[in-house]
Amino acid sequence: MSAVALDLAALADLIKTWGRELGFQQTGIAGLDLARHEEHLERWLAAGFHGEMDYMAAHGSKRSRPAELVPGTLRVISLRMDYLPGDTRMSERLADGAAAYVSRYALGRDYHKLIRKRLQHLAERIQGEIGPFGYRAFVDSAPVLEKAIAEQAGLGWIGKNTLVLNRKAGSWFFLGELFVDVPLPVDEPTPRDHCGTCRACLDICPTQAFVGPYQLDARRCISYLTIEFKGSIPPELRPLIGNRVFGCDDCQLVCPWNRFAKPTAEGDFQPRHSLDSASLAELFRWTEAEFLSRTEGSPLRRAGYERWLRNLAVGLGNAPTSIPVVEALKLQREHPSPLVREHVEWALQRHAAS
């Protein structure tokens, strides 16, 4: 870092200006005290609410102690990028049992590379101002308590649905972090009292995955079941999943704060390959080659083709009985994957009984 005395407050203001110029809607600066969140994480893990996400229990205290993860870290710059892709009529699609519901965040391109590139540009601007300094960028890809950091940085508060909520932007946004060795002035944390007595998110959850305010049992969460979980979806939960084939937005769709969310101007977050209008049967007919081609650079790749078919089979099993639905299912009846075949048979039995 330059030997010239720094006006750290002025630098912090510059960083926030650069953040806006780089497409972030908000930038905040957090200290390193995440003790309260560390205790919450330990209780959550001890209860087994993380399911098969073993990575949540890995790395020990590094997850909640930034200076252990990146030695020399003094502050964390937390940034928010909105992703709401305009009016995709998602509530209407949820009500249409034949339609495939893909979580809004996954309708466009994968956010990881885009945000990481912007964070790198921000680091370069800081370096141009103060000279070489230590930093490391993260985008939902390392043991980082990003929501806790965002709360500490004043970007919002962790709501009852365990997502970060912002009074002016709701919760339709991604987070990115830049760990730095610069003692920037920190922003005031956001108080956690803006949810009040509201229980909309807790009550709407199709699988009742919330065991209480601020506590999610991921093992029942549709986002976990359709994205992270690799096995057979518990039969008792399948009917509750409805037509949600990748993720779930119910607790965001009903959140009163999301009426303040604004559509994104980022082209990469706009829907691709008609994912906001495709039917379950249409997507189920994708070959593996088509899946790989149409999900290139997409969050959908995380599930992989086998689990993509598993999820769609569940959706088709919950869809109104029709010739296109049953015919699509029969096409995969002899699929080489036992996982896919199991869910296809379950779905066909549902229609045979209807």
pLDDT at 63: 87
HSE on the CB side for 209, CA within 13 Å? 26
Residues 6+ apart with CB under 8 A from 96: 243
Q: Cβ-count burial of 85 within 10 angstroms (0-12 exposed, 13-18 middle, 19+ buried)?
A: buried
Write down the H helix ranges in 175-227: 200-204, 222-223
Distance CA 274, CA 176 (A): 28
pLDDT at 200: 98
pLDDT at 193: 77
pLDDT at 254: 97
* Low-confidence spans in the chain with pLDDT less than 70: 1-5
For residue 193, indicate whether it is catalytic: no
| Residues forming a β-bridge with 178 | 77, 137
pLDDT digits (tens, 9 = 90+) for 303-350: 999 999 999 999 999 999 999 999 999 999 999 999 999 999 999 999
Nearest by Cα to 186 from 143, 150, 162, 134 = 150
Secondary structure (3-state) at 166: strand
Residues 6+ apart with CB under 8 A from 344: 313, 329, 332, 333, 335
The one catalytic residue in 33, 140, 181, 268 is: 140
pTM for this structure?
0.94
Q: Are 315 and 280 in contact (CB under 8 A)?
A: yes
Distance CA 311, CA 242 (A): 10
Distance CA 191, CA 144 (A): 21
pLDDT at 1: 47
pLDDT digits (tens, 9 = 90+) for 61-118: 888 899 999 999 999 999 999 999 887 788 899 999 999 999 999 999 999 999 999 9
Residues 6+ apart with CB under 8 A from 222: 206, 207, 209, 240, 241, 244, 247, 248, 250
Angle between the N-to-C axes of helices 111-130 and 8-21, in degrees from 0 to 180, rounded to the nearest 10: 140
